[in-house]
Chain A
């Protein structure tokens, strides 16, 4: 694709590729070095340019993706809140509940009472129900329950 993209467009596309990788493996620990390799840049440069391009750090993007997936599962399955927290990548129920409440503004079980979601294509559900940022300040790095890793994002 050489010549098709300007350098900025090429950078956008590489960052989008890394973001897609995060969306595909959201339950796995945030691995900034691996994502940075997908984007063909250094980890520090990756975090900075990701934030400049998409408006939030990779860490925050993934955190909101995990909460979005949890919101989806709460409304479309009858699995326990604990199961769902593990499924979307949180290592502790306490961290999950706190992060969920911070971002969504209500507890997972209260949110579940909103009932099932309509069956529209999941890509749109994922894009539109990932909770807004700004209800609370960005959580501390420990909010993933992955001490020592998440701070990279």
Chain B
């Protein structure tokens, strides 16, 4: 049976800008950055957790025709592609403060939720990110 989630994918409009944000600002690390010729295979992961990667894929030809790619870009920037990443942290307030110090755009303060304390933000393209300090360990 299935026993783990290895790679999830989100669309980013520019892979260099995505690296600046996800690695430079959010603090993830590069897992793989390889030019396969037909595409740049770019994955990041939470430091210390290489077993779960996020593929940062650029929508475009030949994977998508130009018109479809334009539609995807339109939806990403409207926040409508379903690019959601949900991270955990030991201390939501501290993480929020540290991200603010790095200049990350933070539209929300940490908020008490039924499941813990969390806050949301977006990557430069419109994908949604949520960072939560859960009440119970994620196991």
Contacts and interface: CB of A to CB of B under 8 A. Distances in A.
A4 B13 contact: yes
A104 to B, nearest CB: 21
Interface of B is mostly: mixed
Interface size class of A (residues with CB under 8 A): 20 to 34
Interface string A1-30: 100111011101101110111011000000
A-B pairs, 4 with minimum CB distance: A12-B77, A119-B114, A4-B14, A20-B107
Range class of the B interface residue count: 20 to 34
| A interface, over-half SS | helix
Nearest to B17: A4
Interface in B83-133: 84, 86, 105, 107-109, 111, 113-115, 118, 120, 122, 124-126, 128, 130, 132
B114 A76 contact: yes
Given A16-B79, A119-B115, A8 B130 contact: no
A24 B108 CA distance: 6
A4 B123 CA distance: 13
